[in-house]
A and B are shown apart, each in its own frame.
Chain A
Amino acid sequence: MIDAMNVEEPSIEKYLRQDRLPHIWCSGCGIGPVAGCFLRAIDREEIDPDRIAVVSGIGCTGRVAGYVKLDSFHTTHGRAIPFATGLILANPELNVVVFSGDGDLVAIGGNHLIHAARRNIDMTVICVNNFNYGMTGGQVGPTAPLEARTTTTPYGNFEFPFNLPYLVSASGASYVARWTVLHIRQLEKAIAEAMTKPGFSFIEVIAPCPVVYGRMNKEPKGLDSMYYYQEKSVIRNGADPKDADLELNGPIVVGKFVDVQRPTLWDHLREVSSRAQEKAKARAKV
């Protein structure tokens, strides 16, 4: 047991609902470290925790909203981004972080994702990509590489997957990065950067799901996936996201791909509405 006299409070402990721990995620699941990175990023950037809102959809990753002691919103399946958009438009001071999985964000909420990127809404989206629907038993996800086995593709996946960094950067995101759970320090830095960056920031995190996806793809332990990341990851900051396709057991291109400055939806909205108000005033004077 932890000797309470000796140990200072861990920096992230104050952001966790400790009464809910140990959490429900399986042993070796990659979601925990990503959530930890996010919580440490808050202190790293000295962001006021009262200004943060965490929005999640449904799925294993959606559980993050329930474990953080911050304002959080556990929304319906695939609709995390629309709820987050509403929060931002109602209170642009909020630092909204959407935490969800690949199935929730990209399949069911795929349309919301590309439109949020297109409109450059000022939010941070952390997508934990484990290539399948873990919570419901490992059905094939929209990012599952070709030939990957899942419970609904027992002979190998025959659909082409999405390349997420390419998808969101082509849609207009301001910040796009991909890291694996093993690149934990870079991931923390990326989340910190994304949270302080105005505009739509997207971070894809490749994470192990040993119990469902891993078991079907010769990575039955979280550690097997970690060894794979260690061996096959290639760090290429500034790489063209088009070249960041993922293949089963192939190299994983990681890094910060896009970091550009674009006016956000809120900037445009304010500009247009102030222009309209001035016009109306001028007309009233005449």
Chain B
Amino acid sequence: MKLWRKPFDYAEKATTSGQVFIDEERCKGCGYCVEFCPREVLKMSTELSPKGYNLAVVQDESKCLACGFCEVICPEFAIRISTTNEK
């Protein structure tokens, strides 16, 4: 995002960035996380999971806001968002 002037509370209000971990054994390819991620971080792949479902995979992790929506909407408890490595 381009900012013309830096807001005073920029550091405090800055969005956190997250890392997305998808458990390939649990994912059943329903696509909820891909569809409802506000930042289009994820996408469906043609790769198959051990159970034979299409997997959701990360396409651009740098956009992730760590909002956690994918984590809560996933019916398989397959997604984990980590913010541990954030600076």
Contacts and interface: CB of A to CB of B under 8 A. Distances in A.
B48 interface: no
24 contacts: A1-B23, A1-B24, A2-B80, A3-B21, A6-B82, A8-B84, A21-B77, A22-B25, A23-B76, A27-B53, A28-B28, A28-B30, A28-B32, A28-B75, A32-B74, A33-B73, A36-B72, A40-B72, A184-B69, A184-B73, A221-B30, A221-B31, A222-B31, A223-B31
Contacts of A23: 76
A16 interface: yes
B38 to A, nearest CB: 13
A162 interface: no
Interface residues of B, number: 28
A228 interface: no
Contacts of A1: 23-24
Interface of B: 19, 21, 23-26, 28-32, 35-36, 51, 53, 69, 71-78, 80, 82, 84-85
A37 B32 contact: no
A27 B84 contact: no
A266 interface: no
A65 B72 CA distance: 19
Given A6-B21, A28-B32, A32-B74, 18 more contacts: A1-B24, A12-B77, A21-B76, A21-B77, A22-B26, A22-B28, A27-B29, A30-B75, A33-B73, A36-B72, A36-B77, A182-B36, A184-B72, A222-B30, A222-B32, A223-B31, A223-B32, A226-B35
Given A2-B23, A22-B28, A222-B32, A29 B77 contact: no
A31 interface: yes
Interface of A is mostly: loop
Contacts of B75: 25, 27-33, 222
Interface of A: 1-3, 6-8, 10, 12-13, 16, 21-23, 25-33, 36-37, 40, 181-182, 184-185, 188, 221-223, 226
A10 B35 contact: no
Nearest to A1: B24
Contacts of B19: 6
A8 B82 contact: yes
Contact of B77 (A28, A32, A223): A32
In the A-B complex, the 9 residue pairs with the smallest Cβ-Cβ separation, listed nearest first, are A32-B75, A27-B28, A28-B30, A22-B26, A2-B21, A27-B30, A222-B30, A10-B80, A184-B72
Contacts of B71: 10
A6 B51 CA distance: 25
B73 to A, nearest CB: 6
